[in-house]
Structure 1
């Protein structure tokens, strides 16, 4: 897949490209709870001509040591003894993005930053991210094109993909069987399954409805044929209120109004209890969902399974990715060459991508993906030996590209708050989508972008 062309930024710089974190994105931070790590460098081009180099690496906060993460650092150290990796835990994507922009303005940036894909665009627009196309040329064939696409903007690469979230349907296999409910292959079958489950047990629901799942709703709309943002190289088009997008609003409105899904935010104590009690029976999300479910309901392990995401049109298996993150190099990194080499090794090399599998994530690199096929299934479903084979088939069909605009945070705030109120009050979801459309367009115009609608 190729990236859509992008416009110029307000400053006149080329649009260098923009933009979720999966709820369970694993990171290297678990590796090294507080220390600087010595990464390695041999005589390849990741070594500095001037001698030893220390790379400042910002990643998400994961408390405690992690042997798998330490193994990654140790391996890099063996191969690149002149490079020291100094880890900083800086919080989630929103906090990291804000800190990176502040560091960019102060001319004091780190060298490598882990960030969710959807946050990349606004940083590219701001000129805070380096184009690393040439730096990663030697590993370009180590990651499939549809995965590189999530960090490629206007044919320029702005990050090395770390992990991916092929969208799947994770469900309580035992309870679906108990209630005689067929695993849905289409969204129409999903609605029918929701009705059957709630009829069998009025306290049970096929899923929760959480308005905070902004990335899911965007991906769901994309699967139906909508694009919430798109760009022709000169102007932005916003399609949050397109008819294809509103079709998905109607779908969820119907389930909420009929009381067939539980209006409950994800990962609250109440949600966790309902998952443990077998009252929430599925989750349509990225392939990282089993890890999240296991973290809150380990006693239910062995009762779950995962299948491909339901389709809007039977036979059309195309889906977007949901979640995942990238390693980017800030534009003002003092050691950009070494930083890009480390990012490329970590996310794309055979060694790095295989080791990332040990962090309980789905590696982007081909070697890591291949290794999943002989890897033990997620702890949530130890009996499903074909989990990664199913996921691999999904990845092959992950051909829908979700474009994230430069004001995704504005959209998320406007959308989630209003949708939650609409779900609780059973008012119009369509009006939420239309209001968000207006908010996003007005914000783009206010920021100086050309918008078609």
Structure 2
């Protein structure tokens, strides 16, 4: 569903989101006008003269020879189109920068944004509906992946990469301590207890309170939705009982000193990972690449397994992380930009090429290519790594809706949860306070809210 707009007028960048009936009519008209040889799927640029596309991204770095090779290939295929890479920060910085550029009327042509940042940009009217432009590319990406950039059947971005959730763990130490790889969260708690008993300095994982996206995904796996839409209104479920159940789970582990209260990727965290004192990380399938960058000497000691389940036999999980290519509403070359985005994310050649820059592709061709690819450098011995992750993708049926004020939740949640973990105060209270902060912000911003 299209994220609901505020019910009262806001700054001029706000635009009216069409009603469902009008959207359906517009979509049917646009699809009727498209065919399989649409420019986005064939990559044929429509401009009569040379076009330069400015591409804001943090995944493809101009200094990386593999990234340069990808762009050079596109230039060979489309001599009239030049893609200029502009390196930017993560989603928060990029989204703020894009909104400022939108107000100034001087935007890039393609921008990489994490899935959680897409709804706010859609509601702000800062990105283009590219449904018609990418219609011919739809078969290149599975529906459950397109769903991350699709609202009320309107497509606002081409998926780049995905984060099937897995548990990446130190197999050698699990074996040494006689700990079985947990398949449920109850078993995970038991494993945490066993590990800490065997080595009081070792923990199954760190408790990184600032990882809002993980806690939202964990709650979704338990049946909660932190944001959802109800007609033209928003619903917030951060303090739903299913969500609070996950708060209780982590509070129990923290209070029993079975997870280490430690942010990710700090010098302290990196040292503990290298020393075998933090033994796992529940995250996306991108986690092995991250661990390898900080602990390359531990390569060969890790493996990945499907994420533990709340209810045994229920394997569905959300995606965690990943991003898409969006076309800003004020791009001066929107059609060519959509064509490039579709080639890079959804075509056979483009999707496969993302493997060369260590990206887990969202496109079918890239996913298929992983099955015959070498496993990540962190676990060269786990030859079935990509078979495991591909099965997780097939099981990934839990959609996560991100609201227009994720930044408010992040501000209210992370520091407060970390303080609660250190002070041994109520995690539930943090979730409930975050709920109230998100609701108040939605209402203040003019959105209709229903509970």
TM-score bracket for the superposition, by shorter chain length: over 0.9
Q: CA deviation at 1:421?
A: 0.3
Matches within 5 A, 1:73-112: 73-112=71-110
TM-score (norm. length: structure 1): 0.92
Q: CA deviation at 1:42?
A: 12
Q: When the two structures are aligned, how many residues end up with a matched partner?
A: 427
Q: 2:286, 2:267 → 1: CA distance?
A: 20
Task: Single out whichever of 86-95 and 320-329 deviates more from structure 2.
Answer: 86-95
Contact 1:16 1:154 in 2 (8 A): no
Matched, 1:120 2:122: no
Q: 2:60, 2:139 → 1: CA distance?
A: 31
Contact 1:115 1:325 in 2 (8 A): yes
Q: Find the residue that maps to 1:312 and give its secondary structure.
A: coil
Q: 2:318, 2:243 → 1: CA distance?
A: 15
Match of 2:430 in 1: 432
Matched, 1:189 2:191: no
Q: CA deviation at 1:154?
A: 1.4
Matched, 1:8 2:10: no
Q: CA deviation at 1:15?
A: 3.6
1:69-99: CA deviations, max 9, x gaps?
Answer: 1221121111101000111112221111111
Q: 1:42, 1:434 → 2: CA distance?
A: 45
Q: 1:100, 1:387 → 2: CA distance?
A: 37
Q: Find the residue that maps to 1:327 and give its secondary structure.
A: strand
Q: Find the residue that maps to 2:281 and give its secondary structure.
A: strand
Q: 2:240, 2:321 → 1: CA distance?
A: 23
Name which of 329, 342, 348 aligns with 1:331: 329
Contact 2:141 2:362 in 1 (8 A): yes
Matches within 5 A, 1:299-448: 299-448=297-446
Q: 2:308, 2:41 → 1: CA distance?
A: 49
Matched, 1:241 2:243: no
Q: CA distance change for structure 1 residues 312 and 43 in 2, over 3 Å: closer, same or farther?
A: closer
Q: CA distance change for structure 1 residues 111 and 318 in 2, over 3 Å: closer, same or farther?
A: same
Contact 1:55 1:83 in 2 (8 A): yes
Q: Find the residue that maps to 1:197 and give its secondary structure.
A: helix
Contact 1:230 1:238 in 2 (8 A): yes
Q: CA distance change for structure 1 residues 260 and 356 in 2, over 3 Å: closer, same or farther?
A: same
Q: 2:301, 2:75 → 1: CA distance?
A: 41
TM-score (norm. length: structure 2): 0.92
Q: CA deviation at 1:6?
A: 3.5
Contact 1:226 1:239 in 2 (8 A): yes
Contact 2:58 2:89 in 1 (8 A): yes
Q: CA distance change for structure 1 residues 63 and 185 in 2, over 3 Å: closer, same or farther?
A: same
Q: CA distance change for structure 1 residues 306 and 16 in 2, over 3 Å: closer, same or farther?
A: farther
1:3-26: CA deviations, max 9, x gaps?
Answer: x35323444834489xxxxxxxxx
Contact 1:6 1:232 in 2 (8 A): no
Q: Which runs of 5+ in 1 are unaligned?
A: 18-40
Two-structure CA RMSD over aligned residues (Å): 1.7
Which portions of structure 1, spanning 4 or more consecutive aligned residues, are displaced by more than 3 angstroms? 8-17, 41-46, 61-64
Q: CA deviation at 1:452?
A: 1.1
Q: 2:41, 2:235 → 1: CA distance?
A: 48
Q: Which runs of 5+ in 2 are unaligned?
A: 20-38
Q: 1:42, 1:441 → 2: CA distance?
A: 39
Q: Find the residue that maps to 1:444 and give its secondary structure.
A: helix
1:23-60: CA deviations, max 9, x gaps?
Answer: xxxxxxxxxxxxxxxxxx99966323331101111112
